[in-house]
């Protein structure tokens, strides 16, 4: 039987300043729980419309009613590739499949946008996130398979070929 919370979740494009604020706050919450905000975090979270959407990407939000409970960005990353970034799910709503649904929606959108590959960076301390990415089909990249990260905390790079 489906989890009633998961079935109540609707995933949609960021469509308002309130959505952009939720995107920023959800990400700041998890980042500052485990790490510190870095310059690239501040840049992307400060204006996701300019830095993610305008160049051809998308920010997806997961809502229950009018409340944003999760989010993920998908930014162009070279030719035929996108980077999955800034994925967050409110701690009160974790464990119900929202993160998995956000990843699937982002992968589907990347395909719709003509991507052949989706990349991401994370940290090995985030074992649940790494496991989620692995079970979603992402593979670990060697150091020679990706450019240097703008994030000090990024020690894991992964890719999904579409």
Q: In what order do the strands lie in the sheet with 58-64?
A: 9-13, 58-64, 67-76, 81-89, 117-122, 156-161, 139-140
Cα 51 to Cα 130: distance, rounded to the nearest angstrom: 25
Cα 106 to Cα 101: distance, rounded to the nearest angstrom: 9
Fold of 4-116: Aminopeptidase (3.40.630)
Cα 92 to Cα 136: distance, rounded to the nearest angstrom: 22
Using DSSP's 3-state secondary structure scheme, residue 21 falls into helix
Note down pLDDT in tens along the chain; length 162 residues.
455 555 699 999 999 999 999 999 999 999 999 999 999 999 999 999 999 999 999 999 999 999 999 999 999 998 999 999 999 999 999 999 999 999 999 999 999 999 999 999 999 999 999 999 999 999 999 989 998 999 999 999 999 999
Looking at residue 134, its pLDDT comes to: 98
pTM given for the model:
0.94
Q: Could you count the other beta carbons within 10 Å of the beta carbon of residue 151? A: 17
């Amino acid at each position: 039987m489906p989890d009633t919370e998961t079935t109540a979740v609707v995933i949609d494009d960021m469509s308002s300043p309130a959505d952009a604020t939720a995107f920023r706050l959800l990400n700041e919450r998890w980042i500052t729980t485990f790490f510190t905000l870095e310059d690239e975090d501040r840049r992307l979270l400060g204006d996701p419309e300019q830095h993610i959407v305008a160049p051809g990407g998308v920010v997806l939000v997961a809502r229950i009613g009018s409340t944003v409970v999760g989010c993920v960005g998908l930014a162009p990353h070279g030719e035929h590739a996108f980077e999955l970034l800034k994925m967050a799910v409110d701690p009160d709503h974790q464990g119900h499949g929202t993160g998995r649904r956000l990843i699937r929606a982002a992968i589907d959108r990347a395909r719709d946008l003509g991507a052949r590959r989706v990349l991401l960076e994370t940290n090995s301390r985030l074992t649940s996130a790494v496991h989620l990415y692995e079970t979603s089909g992402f593979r670990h990249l060697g150091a020679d398979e990706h450019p240097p990260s703008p994030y000090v905390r990024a020690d894991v790079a992964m890719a999904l070929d579409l």
